[in-house]
Chain A
């Protein structure tokens, strides 16, 4: 009789199960991609370790990714939707390219928008298409940090990389943003908790200040929370500038802004006496009353503080390659967004050539939308106009915009299926390491085919030039 067979039922019940390591991936064709990049938000974390099921074309595990990054990696699986639709009907790739090229060259005021979830290589082709047809070019920057882009031109930028912030910043101020929910690893990878060369104890060596109109999940991270009345950021920033310069400010500052004189004095003291200060600013500044004046006031405050110590300011950018869009459009046209080639040379004018305006005023008569969904998040007047004009859409998932498009391309996902270059929010370029192949082409491939067809149709000539 074996030993096991002599055990009573009670003994069997009490016996702890022998822990046997179960391989969750047994029988699967697994590939590990090290140092992969998450392109969901502007943090562009490039330290991901992806466990990929090669046969099922999906990511099973994304080590080091935050909750948003995990959703990004896990939800981009292989799709079964048709690759190309024209007027809602399935079509071939060539037919899609032909239809898109025709729309673009027939239009008097073709515009393009999006691009911030697309590689720099694709962005470059997009600019080339719009240059060829004398079109209008704009990116999601115009409804994100576009006002900051205007302020940079007016005020300048005292800047640094996130690596410098990690290694040196002992005073970190977040103004008008909620990174805990929008850029979860901004705190842990770059600016608050990591230990750095001159910040040996991580968070203990830094003072973190958060400025916002409401408490958010980011608030508990801060040592000091400064709550500003909605729409009063400019006034607070201007008061801080005055105090930094030793000037008087209004006695009723607290009544006006919700922030007391004591809190302002304390912050000024900390700003002037830190070793390396940084102001990270979000859309709480650019999307509210004051817009570019708010960003300009903050950039000026950072510049003023350099009389006393080292101080930098950086916008916290949303989409994975929105910073790349600014860089590519700038190096190709001289301007970051809201650029028009209608006269045969680039002109920059926010408010005139930015997408909300060209759509709401009913000026654009065709639009190519790349990896973006303005039909769901633009003002009503713009959306109404989009429904009246031919739209070409390139997107990884169906959206409201793709559902109203005349020509709709399903494309693969950058960083997951296709390689290329993206810029982190601090203008550092990063190379992508894709995880698995998609059945759809990348947007670069689609755009290059449209560009080639457009050039062929124009037979080497440029499109008409506006009078």
Chain B
């Protein structure tokens, strides 16, 4: 069953270094399609490192690989992913008159890909 969680895309060091190798290279694609979840959320959703999950928002969906983070490092119910094409896939285009889409606080439904 799908569970609603908050997706927070952001920068990471490996996203920054792989960006320099090239955005069309495999490393950048790997880094930007790896999502971090709280290990307790992972246990509850019966997920282990390397499993694939589907993230679905009101505007799109994407499949990413998941990786556990220690409970103290990432709050329950939050997913972190380095910015990239998969996070853009989920971003709504409404900017509420600012020019800025809501890119750091997206509600997504999470399901395990069997």
Question: A: which residues have CB within 8 A of B?
Answer: 40-41, 67-68, 71-72, 74-76, 138, 142-143, 146-147, 150, 178, 180-182, 184, 213-215, 217, 227, 230-231, 283-284, 286-289, 291-292, 318, 337-338, 350-352, 354-357, 360, 373, 376-383, 397-400, 403
Contact = CB atoms under 8 A, between A and B. Distances in A.
B11 A181 contact: yes
Contacts of B21: 71, 75
Task: Pick the 8 closest A-B CB pairs, nearest first.
Answer: A354-B99, A351-B97, A360-B93, A379-B93, A142-B99, A287-B104, A71-B20, A71-B17
Nearest to A138: B99
Contact of A382 (B12, B22, B93, B104): B93
B55 to A, nearest CB: 14
Nearest to B74: A214
A373 B85 CA distance: 10
A283 B98 CA distance: 14
Interface string B61-100: 0000000000011110010100111011101110111111
B50 interface: no
Contacts of A214: 8, 73-75, 78, 80
A68 B16 CA distance: 6
B42 to A, nearest CB: 15
A182 B19 CA distance: 12
Given A74-B20, A357-B93, A398-B22, 19 more contacts: A67-B13, A143-B99, A146-B100, A181-B11, A214-B8, A215-B72, A283-B103, A287-B100, A287-B102, A350-B98, A350-B99, A352-B97, A376-B85, A377-B87, A378-B101, A379-B59, A379-B88, A379-B91, A380-B93
Contacts of A68: 13, 16-17, 20
Interface string B37-71: 00000000000000000000001100000000000
Contact of B88 (A227, A231, A378): A378
A299 B41 CA distance: 36
Nearest to B88: A377
A40 B80 CA distance: 23
Q: Pick from B11, B22, B78, B89 the residue with the most CB of A within 10 Å.
A: B11
B95 to A, nearest CB: 5
B23 interface: yes
Contact of B101 (A76, A143, A397, A399): A143
Contacts of B102: 287-289
B98 A380 contact: no
A350 B97 CA distance: 6
Contacts of B103: 143, 283, 287
Contact of A213 (B13, B75, B92): B75
Contacts of B88: 376-380, 383
6 contacts: A147-B100, A181-B16, A351-B99, A356-B99, A376-B88, A383-B88
Nearest to B17: A71
Given A68-B16, A143-B101, A356-B99, A399 B8 contact: no
B24 interface: yes
B105 interface: yes
A6 to B, nearest CB: 54
Nearest to B80: A214
A150 B8 CA distance: 23
A288 B95 contact: no
Do most interface residues of chain B lie in helix, strand or loop, or is the interface mixed?
Answer: loop
Given A215-B72, A380-B88, A288 B99 contact: no
Contacts of A182: 11, 16
A190 B6 CA distance: 33
Given A214-B8, A398-B24, A351 B104 contact: no
B104 A356 contact: no
B105 A230 contact: yes
A67 B17 contact: yes
Contacts of A147: 98-100
Given A377-B84, A377-B85, A379-B88, A142 B11 contact: no
Contacts of A283: 10, 103-104
A76 B11 CA distance: 21
B98 A146 contact: yes
A150 B75 contact: no
A138 B83 CA distance: 21
Given A214-B73, A380-B59, A355 B99 contact: yes
B5 to A, nearest CB: 11
Contacts of B95: 350-351, 354, 356-357
Given A380-B88, A382-B93, A400-B85, A178 B11 contact: yes
B98 A351 contact: yes
Contact of A231 (B23, B91, B105): B105
B63 to A, nearest CB: 15
A230 B80 contact: no
A376 to B, nearest CB: 5
A211 B83 CA distance: 20
Contacts of B13: 67-68, 180-181, 184, 217
